[in-house]
Amino acid sequence: MEYPYQIVTFLDAVPVEGQSIYGDENGGWLAHVALKRRFALKDFSEDQFVQEFALFCASTPAIVIKTLTVQKLDRMPVEVITIERSSDVDMFHQAFLSHFEQQIVSKYPDREGEAYLPHITAEYWDKRVIDVVPYENKSFPVNSVWLTKDAPNGQNTHIFKQFKLGAIE
């Protein structure tokens, strides 16, 4: 089974549909926080998911992301900027899991719930992918989240759709 979807938010970018989040000919890696890591839909069409997720987001208030410092954690092979625990990010993650548990299947169920570790990837394959200075020890108000989807060849992840938090569209 493929797991093409993620729910992410960006701290200082407003990407457009189709844009790569990990860098392409139009730019570099976009600093983001995965609110829900890789998942697939079960017995639920993409259109149905998008409609239900839009309603979920409309009824979910805006959040604040509070970043900490860059570090290399034992459980991760890369450097990351961690996110304050027991935060709005954790609450969004838990609410998403509770609401959609029957409609999705996770690639990494062992990294969810209490084991969820929100972060911003700072290093990937031994290469610094973002400048960490603008992101360390700051608060970022977030009023949008994005559904991303892997390209059909699985080589990159692109913006699929943006959703506003706390707003009916």
Give the residue ranges of the chain where pLDDT is below 70. 1, 24-27, 154, 167-169
Q: Identify the pLDDT of residue 24.
A: 63
Domain boundaries, the chain: 5-164
Least Cα distance to 148 among 14, 11, 34, 28 occurs for 34
Q: What is the pLDDT of residue 144?
A: 97
d(CA 141, CA 34): 15
Specify whether the CB–CB gap between 78 and 67 falls below 8 A: no
What is the pTM (predicted TM-score) of this model? Answer: 0.92
What pLDDT does 152 receive?
81
Distance CA(33)–CA(82), nearest Å, equals 10
The per-residue pLDDT for range 93-123, each reduced to its tens digit, is 999 999 999 999 999 999 998 899 999 999 9
User: Within 13 Å and on the Cβ side, how many CA atoms surround 109?
Assistant: 5
How much is the pLDDT for 124? 86
Residue 149 structure tokens: 């989807």
pLDDT at site 26: 57
pLDDT value of residue 25:
58
Four-CA torsion 141, 35, 99, 92, nearest 10 degrees? -30
Q: Name which of 9, 29, 5, 20 is nearest 140 in CA terms.
A: 9
Predicted local distance difference test score (pLDDT) of residue 23 = 78
CATH number, span 5-164: 3.90.1140.10
So what's the pLDDT on residue 168?
56
